């Protein structure tokens, strides 16, 4: 049963021009366990020429929502309900009722789609031009005119049309492929573009650049864009309206600024609070308790009630219909208590979370403290040099880490950030002895960790091996899928605490599970990894590392694979465990928001890496609030914020794409992209300069921090001087 105060919102509202309306649209899959509803009777009107941001965690049904718009749900799924498309002139079209050939015409000509996997959206053996040509001819479009249009589109996306068309997919970088895919989806001039996580696989800087381009494209081509993502801050700025999906239903739909400032649904509010970002005070960030429901067993009533602090009997039995919230007519919220939610939620939160969030502490270290792990001029090269006539391989050396020195202290947290390929993971693995450096030394408590293990890739000293541990990015593949939690967790105990007998071990594991919030532990200890949720798996992986009593744990993107709402809770857990077990964390992340949360809460440091070098390292506050290196400033710019920014800053990079690692730029490696680069940067290499003051520690490798440097007298590098190759992706996004 559905009750609703504002049925008016379902009627095609006057004044607005609807392009697609969904009425009671469901997508379901028949499964052994029963029917799985992955989209549950949703209603929404998408307006012409708007950008609608659809936000949902993984498994919220957001990809199914995208597919349903084109009636493209993969078999054996079925779409029921109405999907009605309103052409600009002509009669409405019932998309689900179209025949196969009508559907073929409708897709791509009226509504087209961009997938997450741009990397794999192209046929690897056909050139980009062929992709355009076959699309045009399949729809009986004029090929020559279509190719001209494609060239215009590519040019609008700051790509070189001719070169792109002649390329094969593998010759393009991820960001280029994604832009070509956008051009391909627009070549038939559709009215609407559905984008399903289009930037999820891209680096921060590329992601932000594409988002800026989308705005221009949308205006130029009068497009309606549906942008689907798990990353709320990413679309916050871009969208006109936001729709929040939870458990296969919409929780809230409304204008973007209203949703961001006055979220009416408790879930939206919780999601906003759970999303790590750069500006909000840390105390405001809290995890959402509990897990999303299973599509086979959607709770009756409001599907959010098991996790909602405001839930009462009404929520458990009655499905909330859309209520009009806020000032504007088109803000719908699916919650019985939305008015209360706006006022009371803060209190509800404070009660449930009063004392289990660890307080911010300060782990700053005086210079004379003994480092736990000390890296000195570490260099890691991959590939091999051609070393003789029997070696037929070409000299093929990539320097992943190039002369980095830093110290990690006891109870310390260091977070390495940078774009993919900058060497942050390699440096991390080197620091914990999983990768042998080609040059330089790593010392653990003044002992060289590679001493005595000549030529082998494992550490000789077992004590050091125990002290340095790792937690991987994807808990799904780092836990043995054929072992129960019990045996996964007892392996480290058997190895390092052979004196414990079976009962002691079991007791200890149970206690640990309980400690990290997995209960009842007696139930979980007999489970296999696939019977755990993502968050639980990562907790088990954390415990496994902790059980050997390590001194330093490398957390390699430990929260990146998790849902937004779980990230904060896992990071809180890491901080708590760090306190309890007296360990240090070396964390690797591509996301400045996560890095900030972890480092600021523990008083740790953030290290920014670029092409194998450490360009800036310092306390979280200094790196976020007062970045000195232009690259850190660019990362800061690229990290999306949870607020609508009416005056976007100018893009602080000159070229989007990272230079080729086999052909490193001379001097300062960032000079090819740096907006402030001058001739000096091309020839001289800046060293890390200590800028620490009372606000925190900070070391930066840039000439600009030295007021007397000859840099200030040299000529600025203009873009014409940059090599042709690197000019290809020149982007001047502004305003």
Residues binding another protein (CB under 8 A): 70, 72, 74, 104-105, 107-108, 112-113, 115, 117, 120-127, 134-135, 138-139, 168, 170, 184, 392-394, 396
Which DSSP state fits 701?
Answer: -
The C-alpha atoms of residue 62 and residue 66 are separated, in whole angstroms, by: 6
Q: How many CB atoms lie within 10 A of CB 388?
A: 7
Q: Which residues does residue 471 pair with via DSSP β-bridges, in sequence order?
A: 555
The 10 Å Cβ neighbour count of residue 428 is 22
Q: Residue 70 or residue 611: which is nearer to another protein going by CB?
A: 70
Shortest separation between residue 65's beta carbon and another protein, angstroms:
16
DSSP helix/strand/coil, 108: helix
Q: Could you tell me the smallest distance in angstroms from the CB atom of residue 420 to another protein?
A: 20
Nearer of residues 108 and 597 to another protein, judged by Cβ: 108
Strands (E), 271-328: 319-320, 323-324
CB 690, min distance to another protein, A: 43
Distance CA 614, CA 608 (A): 6
Q: What is the distance of C-alpha 567 from the center of its chain? A: 11
> Min. distance of Cβ 527 from another protein in angstroms?
29
CB-nearer residue toward another protein: 37 or 107: 107
Instruction: Kindly state the smallest distance separating residue 39's Cβ from another protein, in Å.
Output: 18
H/E/C letters for each residue in 434-461? CCCCCEEEEEECCEECCCCCCCCCCCCC
DSSP structure string for 24-64: EEEEEEEETTEEEEEEEEEEEEEETT-EEEEE--TTSSHHH
Task: Please report which helix (H) or strand (E) contains residue 220, including its range.
Answer: helix 204-221
Helix axes 338-352, 266-274, angle to 10 degrees: 40
DSSP secondary structure string for all residues of 499-537: TS-HHHHHHHHHHHHHHTT--SHHHHTT--GGGS-HHHH
Between residues 394 and 582, which has the closer beta carbon with respect to another protein?
394
**Which residues, other chains included, contact 478 with Cβ-Cβ below 8 Å and sequence gap of 6+?**
471, 472, 541
Do the Cβ atoms of 691 and 705 come closer than 8 Å?
A: yes
Q: Determine contact, residues 116/197, Cβ cutoff 8 Å.
A: yes
We find the least distance from the C-beta atom of residue 125 to another protein, in angstroms, to be 6
Q: What is the DSSP letter of 223?
A: -
Among 608, 591, 673, CA closest to 424: 608
Nearer to another protein, 68 or 598 (CB): 68
Q: How far is the CB of 102 from another protein (least distance, A)?
A: 11
Task: Name which of 147 and 689 has its Cβ closer to another protein.
Answer: 147
Nearer to another protein, 346 or 394 (CB): 394
Q: Specify the residue, 219 or 396, whose C-beta has the smaller distance to another protein.
A: 396
Cβ proximity to another protein: between 201 and 485 the closer is 201
- Closest to another protein by CB, 165 vs 288, is 165
Give least dist CB 127 to another protein, A: 7
Q: How far apart (Å, rounded) are the C-alpha atoms in residues 441 and 376?
A: 5
- Identify which of residues 3 and 138 has a Cβ nearer to another protein in the complex: 138
Do 450 and 436 meet the contact criterion of CB atoms below 8 Å apart? Answer: yes
Q: Is 344 in a helix, a strand, or coil?
A: helix
CA distance 651 to 653: 6
229, β-bridge pairs: 55
Q: How far is the CB of 85 from another protein (least distance, A)?
A: 15
**Residue whose CB is less far from another protein, 300 or 383:** 383
Closest to another protein by CB, 130 or 330:
130
Considering beta carbons, is residue 138 or 369 the nearer one to another protein?
138
Indicate the residue among 131 and 671 with the shorter CB distance to another protein: 131
Q: Are 240 and 67 in contact (CB under 8 A)?
A: no
CB of 290 to another protein, least distance (A): 32
Whose Cβ is closer to another protein: residue 105's or residue 438's?
105
Nearest to 432 by CA among 459, 454, 403, 405: 459
Q: For residue 682, count other CB atoms closer than 10 A to its CB.
A: 17
The conformational region for residue 415 under phi > 0 = left, psi -120 to 50 = alpha, else beta, is beta
59: left (phi over 0), alpha (psi -120 to 50) or beta: left
Q: For the CB of residue 134, give the shortest distance to another protein in the complex, in Å.
A: 6
Question: Computed from CA positions of residues 113, 116, 119, 125, in that sequence, does the dihedral angle turn out positive or negative?
Answer: negative
> Under a CB-based contact definition with an 8 Å cutoff, are residues 132 and 147 in contact?
yes
Q: Show the 3-state SS of 377-428.
A: EEEEEECCCCCCCCCCCCCCCEEEEEEEEEEECCCCEEEEECCCCCCHHHHH
Instruction: Report, in Å, the least distance between residue 635 CB and another protein.
Output: 29
Tallying the residues shown for the chain, one arrives at: 735
């Amino acid at each position: 049963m559905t009750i609703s105060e504002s049925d008016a919102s379902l009627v095609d509202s006057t004044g607005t021009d609807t392009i697609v309306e969904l009425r009671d649209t469901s997508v379901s899959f028949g499964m052994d366990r029963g029917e799985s509803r992955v989209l549950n009777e949703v209603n929404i009107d998408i307006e012409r020429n708007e950008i609608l941001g659809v936000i949902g965690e993984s498994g919220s049904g957001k990809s199914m929502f995208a597919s349903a718009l084109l009636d493209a749900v993969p078999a054996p799924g079925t779409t029921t309900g109405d999907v009605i498309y309103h052409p600009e002139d002509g009669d409405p079209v019932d998309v689900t009722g179209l025949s196969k050939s009508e559907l073929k015409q409708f897709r791509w000509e009226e509504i087209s789609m961009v997938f997450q996997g741009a990397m794999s959206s192209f046929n690897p053996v056909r050139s980009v031009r062929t992709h355009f040509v076959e699309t045009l001819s399949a729809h009986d479009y004029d090929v020559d005119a279509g190719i001209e249009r494609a060239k215009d589109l590519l040019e609008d996306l700051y790509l070189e049309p001719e070169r792109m068309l002649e390329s094969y997919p593998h010759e393009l970088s991820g960001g280029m492929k994604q832009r070509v895919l956008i051009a391909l989806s627009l070549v038939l001039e559709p009215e609407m573009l559905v984008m399903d996580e289009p930037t999820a696989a891209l680096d921060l800087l590329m992601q932000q650049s594409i988002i800026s381009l989308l705005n221009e494209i949308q205006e130029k081509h009068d497009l309606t864009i549906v942008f689907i993502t798990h990353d709320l801050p990413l679309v916050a700025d871009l969208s006109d309206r936001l729709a929040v999906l939870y458990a296969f239903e919409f929780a809230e739909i409304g204008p973007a600024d209203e949703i961001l400032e006055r979220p009416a649904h408790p879930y939206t509010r919780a999601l906003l609070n759970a999303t790590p970002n750069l500006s909000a005070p840390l105390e405001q960030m809290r995890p959402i308790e509990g897990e999303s429901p299973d599509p086979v067993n959607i709770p009756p009533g409001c599907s959010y009630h098991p996790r909602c602090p405001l839930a009462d009997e009404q929520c458990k039995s009655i499905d909330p219909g859309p209520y009009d919230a806020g000032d504007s007519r088109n803000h719908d919220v699916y919650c019985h208590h939305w008015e209360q939610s706006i006022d009371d939620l803060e209190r509800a939160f404070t009660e449930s979370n009063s004392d289990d969030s660890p307080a911010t502490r300060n782990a700053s270290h005086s210079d004379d403290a003994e480092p736990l792990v000390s890296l000195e001029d570490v260099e890691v090269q991959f590939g091999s040099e051609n070393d003789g006539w029997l070696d037929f391989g070409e000299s093929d050396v990539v320097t992943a880490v190039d002369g980095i020195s830093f110290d990690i202290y006891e109870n310390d947290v260091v977070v390495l950030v940078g774009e993919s390929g900058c060497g942050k993971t390699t440096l991390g693995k080197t620091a914990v002895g999983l990768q042998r450096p080609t040059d330089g030394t790593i010392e653990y408590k003044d002992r060289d960790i590679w001493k005595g293990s000549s030529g082998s890739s494992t550490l000789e000293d077992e004590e050091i091996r125990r002290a340095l541990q790792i937690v991987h990015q994807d808990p799904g593949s780092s836990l043995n899928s054929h072992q129960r939690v019990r045996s996964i967790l007892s392996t480290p105990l058997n190895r390092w605490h052979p004196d414990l007998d079976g009962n002691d071990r079991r007791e200890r594991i149970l206690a640990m599970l309980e400690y990290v919030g997995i209960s009842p532990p007696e139930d979980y200890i007999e489970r296999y990894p696939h019977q755990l949720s993502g968050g639980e798996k990562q907790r088990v992986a954390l415990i496994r590392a902790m059980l050997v009593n390590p001194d330093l744990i490398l957390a390699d993107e430990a929260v990146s694979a998790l849902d937004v709402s779980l990230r904060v809770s896992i990071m809180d857990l890491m901080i708590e465990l760090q306190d309890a077990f007296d360990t240090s964390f070396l964390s690797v992340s591509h996301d400045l928001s996560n890095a900030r949360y972890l480092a600021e809460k523990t008083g740790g440091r953030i290290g920014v890496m670029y092409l194998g070098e450490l360009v800036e390292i310092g306390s979280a506050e200094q790196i976020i609030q007062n970045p000195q290196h232009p690259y850190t400033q660019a990362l800061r710019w690229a990290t999306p914020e949870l607020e609508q920014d009416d005056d976007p800053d100018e893009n602080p990079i000159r070229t989007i794409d990272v230079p080729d690692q086999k052909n490193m730029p001379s001097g300062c490696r960032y000079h090819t992209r740096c907006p402030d680069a001058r001739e000096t940067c091309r020839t001289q290499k800046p060293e890390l300069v200590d800028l620490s003051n009372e606000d925190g520690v900070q070391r930066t490798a840039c000439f600009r921090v030295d007021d007397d440097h000859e840099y200030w007298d040299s000529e600025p590098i203009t873009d014409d001087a940059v090599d042709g190759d690197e000019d290809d992706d020149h982007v001047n996004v502004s305003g």
